[in-house]
Amino acid sequence: MARLKGILLEKNLLIYLFGILVCFCPLGCWGVCYKAVDLLGKTASQESNYYHVTAFLTADLAIDGDSRTLVNDFTCSLTKFSPHAWWKVDLGADHLLGRITIVKRGDGIKGRLTGALVRVGIDSDIFNNAVCGSAVTWDQASIPGVHIQVVCDPPVITRYVSVDNKANATALDGVKISLCEVMVEEVRPEEECPKTTIKSVTEPSFTKSCMSTLLYNGKCVNDPGPLLDEVTSRSPMQCFLSCKKNNECLYFDYVTTSGQCRLYDVKAGDLEAIDEPGCLLYMMGRG
């Protein structure tokens, strides 16, 4: 199956699972947890390298694990002036990214990162990738050494993370980008997140903050047909996204050991499930 790209989650989605209403909150809420992506040794590059005193301040200094924020510490990347400066890192593989943190210099010109954008995606040409969150504000950029957190809601399948900034009309020499550290976090699989309690309700109410689904343990579909699609997914969430974008998909099952994801268009009343270790059965709520 092609990579999942350009899929938007609707935040008013409800999932009904054998009479139980189950939901996750959006990324900013308690229902999502993260895992740091190790950037040490990854390939980083930038539009140009600024030479400071004795050495070039190269792109890899932003992923060296050292978040000191003074340029004389030689732990921050820095470009030359440019009409459109940029910095990027290649993660080496696709990750379902949910959060990026950039650490600004603790010295230098106040507000220099104002207007900078964080982009994430699978294209090596960063300008073809989606913008994550909002542009850095003056209030954020004016704080020395500030940690600026950007949340991708919904999460994005990503190999390349970048930061870029365009010069405005008053910046005659262009702009520079200086990053003292960049930290990237992916959305953890549901089985690695802290467990939550599922409560059964007889008359479920509409919850606008819900956007996803939770699993029903130990069940798989007995009859493999009619089958809309069978793919391999990295997590139940990705399997859910495949079902969500297919309007005919009413439920799906996912096998944790193999990553098998099967989509079905059978009505809920025709559901027949069997016990199977490592299998998770989900039912979609549409409308």
Name residue 37's beta-bridge partners: 184
| 27 Cβ contact list (under 8 Å, min separation 6) | 98, 99, 151, 152, 153, 154, 155, 187
Contact present, 150 and 118 (Cβ < 8 Å): yes
Give the whole-angstrom CA distance, residue 5 versus residue 256: 22
Coil, strand or helix: which one is 37? strand
Phi, psi of 213 (to 5 degrees): -135, 165
For residue 221, CA distances in Å to 173, 234, 275 come to 63, 20, 9
- Per residue in 33-86, pLDDT (tens digit) is 889 999 999 999 999 999 999 999 999 999 999 989 999 999 999 999 999 999
Strand residue runs (E) in 27-172: 34-37, 43-46, 50-52, 55-57, 77-78, 84-103, 117-121, 130-132, 147-166
Give the whole-angstrom CA distance, residue 117 versus residue 130: 10
**Pick from 39, 97, 28: nearest CA to 238:** 97
pLDDT string in tens for the chain (287-residue length): 222 222 222 222 333 333 322 333 333 333 468 899 999 999 999 999 999 999 999 999 999 999 899 999 999 999 999 999 999 999 999 999 999 999 999 998 888 899 999 999 999 999 999 999 999 998 889 888 989 999 988 889 999 999 999 998 777 789 999 999 999 999 887 667 665 433 332 222 222 233 344 445 677 888 777 888 888 877 777 887 888 788 888 888 888 777 888 898 887 567 777 888 778 777 766 54
CATH 2.60.120.260 fits 34-187, yes or no: yes
- The CATH class given to the 15-25+191-199+207-283 domain equals alpha beta
* The pLDDT value given to residue 32: 67
pTM for the predicted model, two decimal places: 0.60
* The pLDDT value given to residue 195: 53
Give the whole-angstrom CA distance, residue 164 versus residue 112: 12
Tell me where in the chain the CATH 2.60.120.260 domain(s) lie. Answer: 34-187
* The pLDDT value given to residue 13: 31
Whether omega for the bond prior to residue 155 falls within 30 degrees of 0, making it cis, is: no
Contact present, 275 and 10 (Cβ < 8 Å): no
What are the tokens at 271?
């559901």
Q: How many Cα atoms occupy the beta-carbon half-sphere of 11 within 13 Å?
A: 11
Q: How many CB atoms lie within 10 A of CB 6?
A: 9
Tell me where in the chain the CATH 3.50.4.10 domain(s) lie. Answer: 15-25+191-199+207-283
For residue 170, CA distances in Å to 7, 37, 119, 271 come to 38, 37, 24, 64
70 sits in the region (left: phi over 0; alpha: psi -120 to 50; else beta) called beta
Give the whole-angstrom CA distance, residue 223 versus residue 248: 18
| 261 Cβ contact list (under 8 Å, min separation 6) | 230, 231, 232, 233, 238, 239, 242, 252, 253, 254
* The pLDDT value given to residue 24: 32
Contact present, 280 and 233 (Cβ < 8 Å): no
